Amino acid sequence: MAYSALDRLQLKVVGKVASLMMAMPAPREHHEQFRMTVVRAEWAGPHIRRITFAAEEFTAYTVTGPDEYFGLIMPPPGEAEPVMPPERLNVRQAIQKMPADRRPDLRWYTVRAHRPEAGEIDVDFILHGDAGPGSRWAGAAEPGWVAGFRAGGSSYRRAAPGERQLLVADETGMPALSAILESLPAPAEGITALVEVPGESYRLPVTAAVEPRYLYRGEAPAGTLALPELAGEPMADLGYAWVCGEAGLASGVRRHLVKERGVDRRRIMFSGYWKVGQARL
Ligand SMILES: Cc1cc2nc3c(=O)[nH]c(=O)nc-3n(C[C@H](O)[C@H](O)[C@H](O)COP(=O)(O)OP(=O)(O)OC[C@H]3O[C@@H](n4cnc5c(N)ncnc54)[C@H](O)[C@@H]3O)c2cc1C
C-alpha cells in the first residue's frame, strides 16, 4: 500500500526536526495493519499480563529493532472485533476521522518476542487498573479475543564495539529494555541498564549478558530514584543513551544528561511512554 504524497512529506518534516533534537529511531517504510487473536493470556506478576497474539501475517512480519513497538487497536466496549482504520501514515488522524460509534481505541506497546515460525508475538502489559482502554482490555483479555495490530517501528541504536551506552526505563519501558539487553551479543561491555519500578513484583526475568539494575520507588513518582542514581554514574565517554518511560522520567533524565553532564542531545533517544493524568493516544 502506497502512502499519499502529503503523508510522505509529513514524515520527512517530522524526521528532519526530530534529528536535530535527539538520536533518531529506525524508519519503517510500511506500517502493516491486520487483525490478530489472543491465544494465551498469563499473569507474569500481580500487575503484569503476558499476552500472546497470533496472526498469519506474523509469519512474514519483520521487526526493525529489539524495542519494536506497535499500535494495539481495540474494539469499543461491547464489540467483539475492532473496525480497522483506513491505512494512513498518521493512524491517530485516521482513527479520529472514523464515525464515533465505530471508532476503535489505540494504545502503543512493545513486541516483547516475535516467533515468525508460529505466527505469534508476546506482549507484556503492565496493568494500572481500568483507567484507560489499554490496561482495561489487557486485564480482561481471554483466548479468542480479537484486536488490531498496527506496525510501529523501533528506536534503539545498536552499540558499536566498546561504545558506552546508558539504558533507562520504568515498568512500561521494561519490556523494551529487556528485549534490547537480550539482543546484545556477549560480552556486552560498557552497558549500564537502570529500571525503576514500583516494587519487586514488577521484576521480569531477562536472559542476557547484562543484568539490569532495579530500583524500587514504591508510591513515589517515576524518576524519583533514577535521577539521583544517574548523578553517581560517569558520563564523560557516553556514546548513546536510550531513555523510555513516564514522560517526567524521560524528560528529566534527558535534561540531566544534556544540561548537567554535557551529553550531546543527538546521542539521546528519549520517549514519554505515558504521562501522569493524561491518556497516551
Ligand atoms: C513506544 C511505546 C511502547 C510501549 N510499550 C509498553 C509495553 O510494552 N507495556 C506496557 O504496559 N506499556 C507500554 N507502553 C506504555 C502504554 O502505551 C501507556 O501506559 C498507555 O498510557 C496505556 O494506555 P491506557 O489505555 O492503559 O491508559 P491511558 O488511557 O493512556 O491513560 C489513562 C490514565 O492512566 C494513566 N496511566 C497510563 N499508563 C499508566 C501506567 N503504566 N501506570 C500508571 N498510570 C498509567 C494515565 O496517566 C492516565 O491518567 C508503551 C508506550 C509507547 C509509546
* Residue nearest to ligand 1 atom 22, measured at CA: 134
Using the atom order of ligand 1, give the atom closest to the CA of residue 271.
Answer: 53
Q: Is the dihedral of CA 177, 183, 186, 187 positive or negative?
A: negative
Using the atom order of ligand 1, give the atom closest to the CA of residue 126.
Answer: 11
Location of C-alpha cell 498518521: 90
Distance CA(120)–CA(240), nearest Å, equals 31
Which of 171, 223, 141 is CA-nearest to residue 47? 171
157-188 pLDDT per residue, tens: 988 888 899 999 999 999 999 999 999 988 88
> Mean pLDDT, to the nearest integer, of 33-46?
97
* Cross-strand bridge partners of residue 133: none
Residue 126 CB–ligand 1 contact under 6 Å = yes
For the chain, domains (ranges, CATH) are: 5-153 (2.40.30.10), 164-274 (3.40.50.80)
What percentage of the chain carries pLDDT values higher than 70?
A: 97
Using the atom order of ligand 1, give the atom closest to the CA of residue 135.
Answer: 26
In this prediction the pTM is: 0.93
- pLDDT of 81 > 70? The answer is yes
Residue 275 CB–ligand 1 contact under 6 Å = yes
Residue 242 CB–ligand 1 contact under 6 Å = no
Cβ of 54: how many Cβ atoms within 10 Å?
A: 18
- How many angstroms does the Cα of residue 137 sit away from the middle of ligand 1? 12
